[in-house]
Amino acid sequence: MNRYFDFRQFWVLTQMHFKELIREPAVLFWGIVFPVLMSLGLGIAFSKTADSQRNIAVVDVIPNHDKQDSIAAFPAIFNHFYSKSIPEKQTKFAFSIKNKKLGNIVFNFNLLSWNEAIIKLKRGEINVIISKEDNIYKYYFDPANPDAQNSYMKLSELLNLKNIAELKSDENVSILNLPGTRYVDFLIPGLTAMGIMMSIMWGLSYGIIEKRSNKLLRRMIATPMKKHYFILSLFFVRIVMNLVESLILILFAMLAFHITIQGSILALIAVFFAGNIAFGGLAIFVSCRTSKTEIGNGLINLVVMPMMMMSGIFFSYHNFPDIVVSILKYLPLTILADSMRSIFIEGAGLMEVSTTIIVLSITGFVFFIAGLKSFKWY
Amino acid sequence: MNQDIVVKVENVFKSFKTVKAVNGLSFEIKAGEFLALLGPNGAGKTTMVEMIEGIQQPDRGKILIGGKEWKNNSKEIHQFIGLSLQETRFIDKLTVRETLNVFAGLYGLNKKRVDEVIEIVSLEEKQKAYVVNLSGGQRQRLALGIAVLNNPKLLLLDEPTTGLDPNARREVWHILQKMKNESNISLLLTTHYMEEAEQLCDNIIILDHGKILQEGTLDKLIEANGGKEIIEVTFKETISEDFPMLDTNLYHFDWDKTAQKAVLKLNDVDAGLKMFMSSIEQKGLTLSTFVSRKTTLDDLFITLTGRHLHE
């Protein structure tokens, strides 16, 4: 037995944590299969130029006006793009603007009364209502809804045309298809960063709280076990699992979406470990006292949910107001995701991400020490 | 210090906020002795055991294990004791053998010892089964196996058979009795069950509110209660006055006027019952109901405190 490091104790604890982990099929699903499925779903959704559906309600604002009369009052709306006259009983029309370069836009018009239109708007089934009042088209929509804004802009452009041939040409539009500029290039490094956070936070924190709740920690410290081996071995197993999970996700993205790592692999490895250290420290801190799994759930969610929503994993956090961005960019997940993106798509090397590595590592150590200081074994 | 004494507890106090969990306890456990701490919930049994285990620190008093205090001697004491806590849940998806291997690794023991322990706790057939698939009794035997892995001189078992069915309980007792016969191990056991203390222990300490109510051998405690058998009888006749029957040297007699029930506590059932039956015949009384049972911890506790054990 080594005087300074009892390898056997560390090894039996590592085996224990590892077996516990791999024998739980749900762990493998959430850790490996789910991130791959998410990247597949989002990658396809944002890489294929699918038809853009615009759902519009056409109404008559005069109360109690007969619906068929309303329809009759609006044929001009459709004359631009709908060759046939509106059949009397028909209340739905679709019109499609074909565009190979930008993708098709399909307008779905629903002839409705005002009240019906409002109900559909509340349900999210339509997002713009138009009516013709005093020979002028009027648009009703929520300007805070970007989809409604977009529908309004496209529709108002169309309705102001004298004929369809006047539709704005897309000759001056060039599709940007350089490596690293697609949505999926933005997504994969973010998903990898989020996977590290989720795996460490749930795996470490929940594992510790559950064992404390089951009095297993209490039983184990009644042996000659060195206490820090327990935490180190749990941490070690999680890092190994994270490595496997991240590798599978990245390899999948390389094969399915032709993702490339433009920067330094060494930098990526260093950032990966720094991220694990940061969230490992946070996980120990979060789980240092409670023995109630319900409280543990709440605490872990309190840490991971805001970061998951606002650290720019799925969409850029720069869409938030500047004051919020100035806070968000210092969250550990934002730092990790940004530095991973800089390596994946901007070609960053070790020097460019060295500050990130130091900041994440120090964050981890500070929380780790604070967590250990107030750690309850029972 | 006497080498035969494995545990010495001297005037130990422990409080939690306003509750005095242990209130000046002193006792000893000798080598090879099996001692039971009996008492209701909240009597201070678990707190006392946890102080011996080193999990809690006494506010005052001294605890010596193998002649040593926990402070500065934790490594030696960990090797000296083996323990089983109330309700430890081991990892569900580890097998019995793997669980024992983990603890053996923590003690620096080899696989041969794991084989021995699996045999000691009779889990040979279940050694490859996941913990989650074990019955309550098998899990308790696993906990016992872990407790004895390091060949401890002192075994501390906190309610080892609570929640087990009678068969599983007897299996655990059988293992402990075998250990008692084959080694010089000492045992400190906390329990609610009188029968458990009776089956396993040489000495019993009855605790209430952190204090010793009574201690001694089972015979001595039962003597204090009046006898190890209890007979409860009612009569067809209504008896309005105090029952004109006194204690004899063969039984201790109580008459509950409200319930119209007579309670006899006796050791020699044959002689005592003959004398009682002849006495009621002389008085012209006729038995209505007759119930005979063993003295329980609850009976002892009522005698000592006037309260039921689970009140």
Strand partners, B214: B206
Mean pLDDT of all residues in A101-115: 81
Q: pLDDT band at residue A80, thresholds of 50, 70 and 90?
A: very low
- What's the rounded Cα separation, in Å, for the pair A24 and A44? 30
Report residue B292 CA to chain centroid gap: 23
ipTM for the complex shown = 0.80
Q: What is the pLDDT of residue A18?
A: 93
Task: Please write the tens of the pLDDT for every residue from A138-189.
Answer: 899 998 888 899 889 888 887 776 666 666 667 777 777 777 778 889 999 9
| pLDDT exceeds 80 at position A44 | no
Task: Calculate the average pLDDT of chain B.
Answer: 88
Residues B124/B157, Cβ–Cβ less than 8 Å: no
Q: CA–CA separation, A229 vs A237, rounded Å?
A: 12
Query: Would you call A218 and B75 a contact, using CB atoms and an 8 Å cutoff?
Result: no
Are B93 and A24 an interchain contact pair (Cβ–Cβ within 8 Å)? yes
Strands B19-30, B5-16: pairing is antiparallel
Rounded distance between C-alpha atoms, residue A266 and residue A289, angstroms: 36
Q: Which residues of A touch B160 (CB under 8 A)?
A: none
Q: Which residue, among A280, A190, A297, has the nearest Cα to A240 in the 3D structure?
A: A280
Cβ–Cβ pairs < 8 A, chains A and B: 68
- Residues in CB range of A189: below 8 A, 6 or more apart: A337, A340, A341, A343, A344, A345
Given a contact cutoff of 8 angstroms between Cβ atoms, the answer to whether A376 and A287 are in contact is no
Q: What span, in angstroms and rounded, lies between the C-alpha atoms of A68 and A17?
A: 70
Residue B290 pLDDT exceeds 50: yes
Instruction: Give me the pLDDT at residue A163, please.
Output: 63
What are the E-state strand segments in B185-299? 186-191, 203-208, 211-216, 229-235, 251-256, 261-266, 287-294
Of A11, A216, A225, the CB nearest to B90: A216
Measured in angstroms, the CA of A216 and the nearest CA of chain B are apart by: 6
Probe site for chain B from A16, A225, A227 (most B CB atoms < 10 A): A16
CB-based contact, B162 to chain A, within 8 Å: no
B75 contacts A215? CB cut-off 8 A: no
**Residue B219 near residue B295 (C-beta atoms within 8 A):** no
Return the residue of B nearest to A14 by Cα. Answer: B102
Instruction: Find the CB nearest B101 among A1, A12, A20.
Output: A12
First to last CA, chain A: 28
Structure tokens at B212: 């010793």
At A66 the pLDDT is: 54
Closest partner CB to A215 (pick from B85, B91, B98) = B85
In B, residues 48-107, which contact A (CB 8 Å cutoff)? 53-55, 75, 78-79, 83, 85-91, 93-94, 98, 101-107
Comparing A20-34, A232-246, B40-54, the range with the smallest average pLDDT is A20-34
pLDDT tens for each residue of B85-131: 887 889 999 999 999 999 999 999 999 999 999 999 999 999 999 99
Which of B304, B303, B301, B225 shows the shortest CA–CA distance to B267? B225
Contacting residues of B for A24, CB less than 8 Å apart: 93
pLDDT tens digits, one per residue of A273-305? 999 999 999 999 999 998 888 899 999 999 999
